[in-house]
Amino acid sequence: MAMEYVPNAEAIRPRRQIDWVPIITLGIPTLFVILFFVMPIVLIGRYSFNSIDPVTGLMTTDWSFAAYERALTSPIYQKIFLRTLTIALTSTIVALLLAYPLGYFIGAVAEPQQQGTLILLVLIPFWTSYVIRTYAWIGILQTNGFLQEVVGWVPGMGGSLLYSRAAVIIGFVHVYLPIMILPIYASARNMDKRYIEAAHDLGASPFRTFLRVTLPLTSPGIIAGIVLFFIPVFGSFVTPQLLGGTGDTMMGQQIQNQFGEAFNWPFGAALSMVMTAVVLVAMVLFFRFADPEEIYGG
């Protein structure tokens, strides 16, 4: 009697098809982030532990904490760090005072059909070159410049503001103000106005309504604007280089000098990692106290 052939179950099992969609949609962005964000930070972090040969002046590959010790304990760089922090915080406060009324007006007061036009007017200067906008302030703030021609007759306003801390703060506020306005606008737009109406119905004054209702409802946008404004200002070197004085340098200028002029890459890398740590703390605070979905209505 002939034996019946039973096919092998493994042989007839269909091959598993590879789903390339998640590999492409997740793999390519992940690779991009690793190559252009993670790897540079890792590379700079590795440089920060190197040292400079005192004889040849070349960078030697070792594991030394000398650059971090100098960056964290030197009174000179402690002073520069505190100055950078002071300028960044002052610029952020000034920008917030200017951005909040404008962002709130566009998001909560202006008609919906007008909001797009107003936001476009806010963004148009942001599309202009950073350097061009900074150079424009040189012509405005310099001696015999536009500002002096306009307000020079006012007592105490006849001098030049160029190459001063005030000029740096003005430049920062002008360049990065849209970054502060946009999250405040988004938060005000998504705000539930019924709470404000209820506060008025209960007899609250406009000022008390603002403090107890409006300000808490728009606080996510305020926090987001503060963080997003503070981060680029804290690490900037172009604006203080063009508008600031030689005796009021910021940390970004020092990092640029270490890499470009002093060729002390380990020390420049150590300063960069210290500033990166500050930025990471700011980002942690942002995600701790502000939900991006709540701000932008996701």
What is the reported pTM? 0.83
What's residue 153's pLDDT? 60
Position 120 scores a pLDDT of: 92
Beta bridge partners of 51: 60
- Domain span at residue 287 reads 68-296
Q: Please report the pLDDT score of residue 203 as a whole number.
A: 87
Q: What is the pLDDT of residue 144?
A: 76
Domain membership flag for residue 25: no
Question: pLDDT for 2-28, tens place per residue?
Answer: 555 555 555 555 566 666 777 777 878
* Residue 28 forms part of a structural domain: no
pLDDT at 26: 80
pLDDT of residue 128: 85
Rounded CA separation 298/290 (Å)? 13
User: Which residue is it, tokens 């910021």?
Assistant: 250
pLDDT at residue 271, as a whole number:
94
Whether residue 30 lies inside any domain: the answer is no
Q: Are 249 and 240 in contact (CB under 8 A)?
A: yes
The per-residue pLDDT for 161 is 80
Residue 19 included in any domain: no
Domain membership of residue 15 (yes or no) is no
Secondary structure string (H, E, C) spanning 7-56? CCHHHHCCCCCCCHHHHHHHHHHHHHHHHHHHHHHHHHHHHCCCEECCCC
Of 169, 173, 166, whose CA–CA distance to 102 is shortest?
173
Q: What is the mean pLDDT of each run of 10 residues along the chain (298 residues)?
A: 55 62 79 89 93 85 90 93 94 96 93 91 87 87 75 62 89 94 93 88 88 89 91 91 86 91 91 91 77 56
pLDDT in tens, 27-36: 788 888 899 8
Asked if the structure places residue 168 within a domain, the reply is yes
Q: What is the CATH number of the domain that holds 174?
A: 1.10.3720.10
Instruction: Name the domain count of the chain.
Output: 1
Residue 22 lies in a domain: no
The torsion angles phi and psi of 74, rounded to 5 degrees, stand at -70, 125
Q: Is residue 116 part of a domain?
A: yes
